[in-house]
């Protein structure tokens, strides 16, 4: 009897924590303003905690089956329990979700007008992560990006050759392959392309096309270079643990 009561208590406490952590006003507003009624009523996008909508006039597309809370912004899934309350989102262009997606606390997501941001199935970004998309950023399926990392496909300021006057491109697409793991404080810059099953060491700077190095590699450094081949995160072993993708 005691064990049964304890289980009921744990279940109720879990539900209370969940319902109190969701920003219901922003969740309902976002879903019903961005999706047709048939999709919006399923509440596919959840916002947890405080978030500032700078602008959400852009297009949001969900490819595949739509389920409740499949896309989560600000959800706690890392060890960090506190939030600075600085989460912001600005979607002026197009954002495409290929399935489940997850963003930790205090995120910043910016998609410029005419830009395209693609998020693969079961891909996520840790606390204080930043995505700045001015042209095109694509994350493959099963991409895990650890806390305090950033992806920016633009340098924002025009650079020139002082001898010839040539202007260098400010923006270039970023393509992250399937089953990639980026450690904490990784900076991904314009023109970065990674192959499938690529691991990026913490505090690295990625700024070129690494696809020619092949799959199952570890890169790292500033700028990042090949460290080891025939190495990968244990994606098969982790496949059984799907708790982070559940609403409750």
The pLDDT tens digits for 32-91 are 999 999 999 999 999 999 999 999 999 999 998 999 999 999 988 777 778 899 999 999
Residue 20: the pLDDT is 78
Q: Where are the domains of the chain?
A: 2-240
Asked if 179 and 162 count as a contact pair (C-beta separation under 8 A), the reply is no
Task: Express each pLDDT in 213-223 by its tens digit.
Answer: 999 999 999 99
Helix/strand/coil (H/E/C) assignment for every residue in 26-81:
HHHHHHHHHCCHHHHCCCCEEEECCCEEEECCCEEEECCCCCCCCEEECCCCCCCC
Give the largest CA-CA distance in the chain: 83
- Residue 139 burial (C-beta neighbours within 10 Å; 0-12, 13-18, 19+): buried
Contact 161, 168 (CB under 8 A): yes
| Residue 119, both tokens | 């998020």
Can you list the alpha helix ranges (DSSP code H) found in the chain? Answer: 2-21, 24-34, 37-40, 235-238
Alpha-carbon distance 48 to 76, whole Å? Answer: 8
- Residue 145 region, left (φ>0) first, then alpha (ψ -120 to 50), else beta? beta
CATH topology of domain 2-240: UDP N-Acetylglucosamine Acyltransferase; domain 1 (2.160.10)
pLDDT at 11: 52
pLDDT at position 159 is: 87
Which parts of the chain sit beneath pLDDT 50? none
Strand partners, 22: 48
% residues pLDDT > 70 (the chain): 88
């Amino acid at each position: 009897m005691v064990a049964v009561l304890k289980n009921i208590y744990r279940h109720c406490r879990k539900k209370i924590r969940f319902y109190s952590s969701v920003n219901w006003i922003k969740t309902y507003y976002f879903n019903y303003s961005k999706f047709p009624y048939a999709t919006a009523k399923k509440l596919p996008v959840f916002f947890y905690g405080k978030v500032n909508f700078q602008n959400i006039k852009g297009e949001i597309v969900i490819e595949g089956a739509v389920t409740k809370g499949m896309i989560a912004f600000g959800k706690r899934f890392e060890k960090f329990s506190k939030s600075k309350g600085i989460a912001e989102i600005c979607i002026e262009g197009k954002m495409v979700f290929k399935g489940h997606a997850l963003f930790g606390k205090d995120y910043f997501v910016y998609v410029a007008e005419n830009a395209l941001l693609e998020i693969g199935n079961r891909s996520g970004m840790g606390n204080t992560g930043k995505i700045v998309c001015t042209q095109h950023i694509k994350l493959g399926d099963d991409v895990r990006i650890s806390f305090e990392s950033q992806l920016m496909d633009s340098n924002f300021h025009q650079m020139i050759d002082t001898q010839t006057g040539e202007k260098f491109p400010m923006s270039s697409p970023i393509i992250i392959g399937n089953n990639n793991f980026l450690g904490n404080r990784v900076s991904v810059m314009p023109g970065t392309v990674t192959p499938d099953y690529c691991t990026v060491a913490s505090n690295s700077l990625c700024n070129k096309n690494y696809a020619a190095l092949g799959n199952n590699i570890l890169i790292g450094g500033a700028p990042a270079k090949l460290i080891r081949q025939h190495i990968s995160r244990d994606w098969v072993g982790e496949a059984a643990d799907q708790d982070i993708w559940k609403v409750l």
